Amino acid sequence: MSNIIRLLPDHVANQIAAGEVVQRPASVVKELIENAVDAGATEIKLILKEAGKTLIQVIDNGKGMSETDARMAFERHATSKISTAEDLFALQTKGFRGEALASIAAIAHVELKTCLKQAELGTHVVIEGSKVVSQEVAVVPEGTSFSVKNLFFNIPARRNFLKSDTVEFRHIVDEFERVALVHHNIHFILLHNGSEVFNLPASNLRQRIVNVFGGKTNEKLVPVKENTDIVTVEGFVGKPEYAKKSRGEQFFFVNDRFIKSGYLHHAVLSAYEGLLKEGVHPTYFIYLNLPPDTIDINIHPTKTEVKFDDEQALYSILRSAVKHSLGQFNVTAALDFQRDASLDTPYGFKGKEAETPTIAIDTLYNPFKQDNNSKKSYNPFEDDEDLKEEKAIKIEERLYGSLMNNDTASLDLQKVFKSKISSPSFKGKNAGGKQNANKPLSDGSAGEWNKMYENLKQSGQNIDVSQLNIESEIVTGVLFDVITDNTAANKTFQIHKKYIVSPIKSGMLIIDQGRAHQRILYEKFMESITVHQQASSQQLLFPLTLYYAPYEIEMLKELKELLICIGFGFEQTGEDYIVISGLPLHVAESEASIVLEDLIADFHNGLPDTTFSQGDRIAKSLAHSLAVKTGTILNEEEQENMVNSLFACKDPQISPFMKPVFITMKVEDIEKKFTL
């Protein structure tokens, strides 16, 4: 029997290994940038063409390589990071396996230019499909330049599995951000198809986060810092009101290495318990520093999964640190019931010395000195004669005005009061004459006042009250209101703030109001997009400025024409902001930011290649965001309008997401429920 086990050729083994290391252009970017960081570079430039399918070039000003190292770097399992198995538990660098460059060279055209610092000449190496085409001495700048061209040129099946340029570029940006966020002391530049996407100068950690995700990110961040014997926790978490529906801005770094950990993610979510709405996710940038011998990062080829020695302690520390930070900056209420919040020192004044207050004394003040201008003391509870007299006059004037404006008062009553006003005693008061406060207003005034009330009584007896309608409650023996209007049979009703019930000849319709509104909005948006005519737009009196991350701005630029067809108006587009001058009729100004964030979240995994597919996804996303939700109360007119608009659609039976919109219940089905 012949032997059937044999060794694979080197180029086949390299291609198999490349399938584990290089899955897409983003994998190449990750390996090359991490190598530049390990080389001690202070400036790293990434140049891309067609999302890395045609060209990926990484240029750094690191320490460079010698001629021998430049050749050995492309051999399998050749590394300068480790020499023994014990070194795996004391790693301080990014890469250590020695497989990245060999795998990349097996499936692409690679060109390497490198030069040691203070060396006159460098090395130029060209490799195609693991075969060294040339290696020569050349004059090149200090540092290293890797150029990877025509990725997967010898594996067309792998190349066919790549997504669109937008999707692949988004994955590259993810890897670029993960390295840039942890190495804020390095200047990073990203160029794509000749345009600059990122230019991140060396700065502090907070400024690096702001430069990556936009200027408005600064006001969303709350610092986190905790030092323990087990771990050091630093970083920032986002305020609950800025939580998003996507999980894009969530980063864990362990010893300057990006990782994914559902266990630690749950610890952060537990710290936000009671602060977040359903369906939203917080933003966080958490940096953990642990002793290298307490973690194992050699459990996955991409090194994004880490195994910890004491996960439970790490969980508790991280949860407490985040919760303390949220409470410290008044994001959430403190749980110390013995503490008086009014006695707390503001954090802006923490550590400052108290200033001695200054006291000003009037040395000339004499409390026993009498004022010569004041002849008598003033008693606020006692009115003088003039004041009493003025009050009496004002009362009589008001009474006279009310009587003159009263239509029910008789003319005789007004004549009596006119004679009262024209009396000499009243005129004397108006002239400022003084009278005794105990003296009657005028002679015979008591009789005149009696005549006033008598005339008022006589005038009231002449009022005809037979024409007045008095509302009274009519008690009937009918339990339910009797509907006498024939049109009432066509009325709609809302049940549980979710369903609309409409009677039909054979029974009744039960309509899901949310799905019905989605179908109505979807067809309206699709009609605006497919006809390529700008829909009706409401112009804003003051343009609205919205801030987004640079990659989100690039996504909105690609969708700009389709959004204009729907009714959006764009006045200006910057690196991290857009200025909107018009909105569709169905979008309120307060909802514009939420609608666009939902749209970006829906397109986070990539834009479709065709314009029709892009328009379809935009219409579905906007319809989902703008449709009425469960719990919205609709009046009778709104219910009827929704029912009529639904059955005017081309396909009213299903929603844009292929779910039923309504069901019918026949009279026979209802009668069966009452059958014994």
Answer yes or no: is 448 within a domain.
Answer: no
Can you tell me the distance from the alpha carbon of 500 to that of 508, in angstroms, rounded to the nearest whole number? 10
Beta partners for residue 507, in sequence order: 504, 666
Task: For residues 398 and 543, state if they share a domain.
Answer: no
Q: How far apart are CA 264 and CA 287, in angstroms?
A: 12
Low-confidence ranges of the chain (pLDDT < 50): 375-378, 380-381, 409, 427-444, 472-473, 475-485
Domain presence at residue 475 = no
3-state SS string over 76-138? CCCCCCCCCHHHHHCCCCCCCCCCHHHHHHHCCEEEEEEECCCCCCEEEEEEECCEEEEEEEE
Mean pLDDT, rounded, of the chain: 78
Strand 250-254 with 284-289, pairing? parallel
Cα separation, 97 vs 20, in Å, equals 12
Same domain, 25 and 131: yes
| 196 and 240 together in one domain | no
pLDDT score, position 415: 58
Query: What is the model's pLDDT at position 673?
Result: 84
Give me 484's structure tokens: 């006498």
Out of 200, 235, 263, a domain closes at: 200
Beta pairing partners, 499: 495, 512
645: left (phi over 0), alpha (psi -120 to 50) or beta: alpha
Q: Quick one: 241 and 290 in the same domain?
A: yes
Cα 101 to Cα 14: distance, rounded to the nearest angstrom: 10
- Note whether residue 347 is domain-resident: no
Indicate whether 193 and 273 sit together in one domain: no
The domain that holds 121 is classified in CATH as 3.30.565.10
Q: How far apart are CA 440 and CA 162, in angstroms?
A: 107
Residue 337: inside a domain, yes or no?
A: no
Tokens of 418: 């006119």
**Domain shared by 173 and 219, yes or no:** no
Q: Are 554 and 197 in contact (CB under 8 A)?
A: yes
pLDDT at 54: 92
**Residue 95, class by beta-carbon neighbours within 10 Å (0-12 exposed, 13-18 middle, 19+ buried)?**
buried
What span, in angstroms and rounded, lies between the C-alpha atoms of 40 and 1?
56
Q: Which of 200, 227, 254 is the last residue of a domain?
A: 200
CATH of residue 575's domain is 3.30.1370.100
**Are residues 218 and 183 part of one domain?**
no
**Helices 592-602 & 550-558 angle (0-180, nearest 10):** 90
Contact indicator for 109, 119 with CB cutoff of 8 Å: no
- Give domain status of residue 277, yes or no: yes
First vs last C-alpha separation in the chain: 80
Domain extent at residue 522: 493-664
Let me know whether 191 and 231 are in one domain: no
Q: What was the pLDDT predicted at 153?
A: 86
Joined tokens for residue 83: 């020499």
Q: DSSP code of 365?
A: -
Q: How far is CA 604 from CA 278, 592, 607, 661, in A?
A: 20, 18, 8, 28
pLDDT of residue 113: 93
Torsion sign across C-alpha atoms 560, 561, 564, 569 = positive
Q: Give tens-digit pLDDT for 52-99.
A: 999 999 999 998 898 888 888 888 766 666 656 655 555 666 655 557
CA distance 195 to 81: 35
Q: Are residues 190 and 295 in the same domain?
A: no
The gap from C-alpha 498 to its chain's centroid, in whole angstroms, comes to: 26
Judgement on whether residues 296 and 189 belong to the same structural domain of the protein: no
- Residue finishing a domain among 301, 328, 355: 328
How does pLDDT run across 128-181, given as a tens digit for each residue? 888 888 999 999 999 999 999 999 888 888 888 888 887 888 889 989 999 999
pLDDT at 186: 94
**Any domain includes 581:** yes
